[in-house]
Structure 1
Amino acid sequence: MRRQLGIFLVFCWLLLPACQKQVETLHLDGATMGTTWSVKLHSLPDGVDPVQLKSQLQSQLDSINRLMSTYDPESEISRFNRQTSGDWFAISTETAEVISLSLHLSQLTAGAFDISVGPLVELWGFGASERGEQLPTNEQVAEQLAKVGYQHLQLRRAPAALRKTQPLLRIDLSAVAKGYAVDLLAESLVERGVDNYLVEVGGELRIAGQRSDGTAWKIALEKPLEEAREVKTIFPLTDTGLATSGNYRNFYIENGQRYSHTIDPVSGRPIRHRLASVTVLDPACARADALATALMVLGEEKGQILVEQQQIAAYFLIHEQQGTEVYVSPAFQKFLAEVN
């Protein structure tokens, strides 16, 4: 279920020279969804055993993977994808929650976020299959576009079920499931009385409270460089989810033209704008995760309109001939001002 972001988040309180003060921190980690997860906190309430907590968190992640993975042929999503009838297909409340959010954001972004985009991703050579020797033709794009569209997916909440109006529709929750997993782990910590934590799954984050030394958690964002890894900026953050999406590493060049792994579900083609990466803050990491993907599809101009209309906290890195331009939405500026 792994989605390659082309972005690197640095937990600067561990790695950056400016943040080398040593503090006692409890670190839990493991593997999930084809990537890694980690939880960092500086104390546990009485009666909460760290070994048992790690096992419980891993169990929650394993459960999400069994429901939503497209790599597990027996997951709910895989079995629904194989169904070609228009009958209702029973799903868990967890899957229904993720799909409900996904459909809402598809409407909000006019289809820029679409969990059915998979056939187009495969067509352009960024899926599980090897890329073909020739670029897709207009006819091939049109053929796959006919299989894509959130409008072909219907959700019933009680009892939870899905059905499709396009028999070949397939869905993939990888652009939102990691954020949802982050939220689930964070809520589990809160239920156990943990107030200060940093939860991370595959680079998506949710942060609450403070570090052990009483200062805000600090997150560093990377410059949009194809080869090197260099820090662009550092933010003090607390009480938010965070997700970043980028397109400057996962691409190929054919006939002098660059083709990004980020596919526009509306046009059926790789994006062709100057936006290099997007970071979104939102109380729910799942929402931040999906919005970061949608904004990468929309690009710097349409994306700026959306974040200002919807008061989305977003940070854009935009390619320029002489470097990188930064756009910070009003909601993002307000959040940072409140933290500082």
Structure 2
Amino acid sequence: MSNPQAAAPLLRTLLLGGAFVLLAGCDNTDSLEQFGGPTQGSTYSIRYVRHVGRPAVAEVRHEVEAILAEVDRQMSTYRGDSDIERFNELPAHSCQVVPAPILELVRIGEQLSMESDGGYDLTVEPLMNLWGFGPQGREQKVPDAAKLAEVRQRVGHRYLRIDGDKLCKDAAVEVDFNSIAAGYTVDRIVDRLKGMGLDSFLADVTGELKAVGRKPDGSPWRIALELPRDDRQVAQRIVVLDGYGVSTSGDYRNYFEQDGKRYSHTFDARTGAPITHNLASVTVFHPSTLMANGLSTLLLVLGPERGWEYAETHGIAASFVMRADTGFVTRTSQAFERLAKGDGHDM
């Protein structure tokens, strides 16, 4: 699972006509408003079409930042007083009353873990710390085999269980929501924007996106998928969004090399080690940004072949970028091609 402070997304929003676009009518003016700021170790941004009589930026910003603050209090692994960190500090065979959203994400994590045969797992934080990628990580290096074996005893979704409004652990596991928290946050924000009467907007939290409706000039919200390069941004394909969340997981930014071998910040819980295959990134489109977020990580963990088979079997709109001797090779699922051609409703 990825660290949001280090993993830069392969997505760029394309807002043609500048940051603000105005359309004037006889008695009506629609404007494209925007605001943003820091969150979850990265940034967020909201762009929305404001119709006459609809909420101003200050009101919308207040509602959005209330959601961001709530998610941070509940799910941040970078503050010791969050609900999940207080749970993480408990010993084995302990239970704690937690907010309903935490239980919701644990259930989704269990589903994704089962569907990936345990490769995707919400409890890999001790491994991330051990390898130097987590919030308590000190040095990025291959750990001692004995220490790795010891830490792996504290990793596994099977050690988590829900008892009413309590989350319980049968081993000293630590939960890390970094692979789904941003997508969950986007969906929460989208629901709130709709509740405020907004019908066209683009919400971005740490690079996880969802777009609804169109801009004031009638043009769609669009994103550019980029090749995973460190030196510059290279737009590979432009996709129109309306009602879809999108998430990219990749190993191209946060990694280290030791003895000529590359070690990514994305972990396979079955091995206790970073992934080592040639799949550089996966972008997933899904009506639920939460699911897009989790599935992009799941597919990255499964790799170029098993991940591809999973996407095709489950009808997931996904774009895979693999490393090859000549550079990068892209492969897209059938569901992705339907969506890219404007036929996403058949997914």
**2:27 matched residue in structure 1:** none
Match runs of 1:49-68 below 5 Å: 49-68=56-75
5+ unaligned residues in a row in structure 1: which ranges? Answer: none
In 1, are the aligned partners of 2:20 and 2:33 still within 8 Å (CA)?
no
Q: Does the residue aligned with 1:311 lie in a helix, a strand or coil? A: coil
Deviation at 1:138, TM superposition (A): 2.4
Q: Is residue 2:89 matched to residue 1:82?
A: yes
Match runs of 1:241-256 below 5 Å: 241-256=245-260
Paired letter, 2:166 = A
In 2, are the aligned partners of 1:5 and 1:244 still within 8 Å (CA)?
no
Q: How big is the alpha-carbon RMSD for the aligned residues of Structure 1 and Structure 2?
A: 1.9
Deviation per CA, 1:287-321: give whole Å up to 9, x if none. 11111111111110110111111111111111111
**1:314 matched residue in structure 2:** 318
Change beyond 3 A, Cα 1:339–1:27 = farther
Deviation at 1:338, TM superposition (A): 2.5
TM superposition score normalised by structure 1: 0.92
Match runs of 1:133-152 below 5 Å: 135-152=142-159
Q: Does the residue aligned with 1:175 lie in a helix, a strand or coil? A: coil
In 2, are the aligned partners of 1:176 and 1:290 still within 8 Å (CA)?
yes
**2:160 matched residue in structure 1:** 153
Change beyond 3 A, Cα 1:78–1:44 = farther
Match of 2:173 among 169, 172, 179: 169
In 2, are the aligned partners of 1:113 and 1:291 still within 8 Å (CA)?
no
**1:209 matched residue in structure 2:** 213
Deviation per CA, 1:161-195: give whole Å up to 9, x if none. 110111x2111111111111000000001111211
Deviation at 1:88, TM superposition (A): 2.8
In 2, are the aligned partners of 1:247 and 1:277 still within 8 Å (CA)?
yes
Deviation at 1:45, TM superposition (A): 6.0
In 2, are the aligned partners of 1:223 and 1:229 still within 8 Å (CA)?
yes
In 2, are the aligned partners of 1:281 and 1:313 still within 8 Å (CA)?
yes
Structure 2: distance between partners of 1:239 and 1:80 = 35
Paired letter, 2:45 = S
Match runs of 1:101-250 below 5 Å: 101-128=108-135, 129-131=137-139, 135-156=142-163, 159-166=164-171, 168-250=172-254
Deviation at 1:3, TM superposition (A): 4.7
In 2, are the aligned partners of 1:112 and 1:295 still within 8 Å (CA)?
no
In 1, are the aligned partners of 2:124 and 2:175 still within 8 Å (CA)?
yes
Identity of paired residues, percent? 33
Structure 1: distance between partners of 2:20 and 2:79 = 41
In 2, are the aligned partners of 1:86 and 1:163 still within 8 Å (CA)?
yes
In 2, are the aligned partners of 1:237 and 1:339 still within 8 Å (CA)?
no
Deviation at 1:250, TM superposition (A): 1.2
**1:5 matched residue in structure 2:** 7
5+ unaligned residues in a row in structure 2: which ranges? Answer: 23-31
Moved more, 137-146 or 173-182: 137-146
Paired letter, 1:23 = V
Change beyond 3 A, Cα 1:87–1:121 = closer
**2:285 matched residue in structure 1:** 281
Structure 2: distance between partners of 1:189 and 1:260 = 36
TM superposition score normalised by structure 2: 0.90
**2:298 matched residue in structure 1:** 294
Q: Is residue 2:341 matched to residue 1:331?
A: no
Structure 1: distance between partners of 2:247 and 2:319 = 11
Structure 2: distance between partners of 1:235 and 1:82 = 43
Structure 2: distance between partners of 1:21 and 1:323 = 34
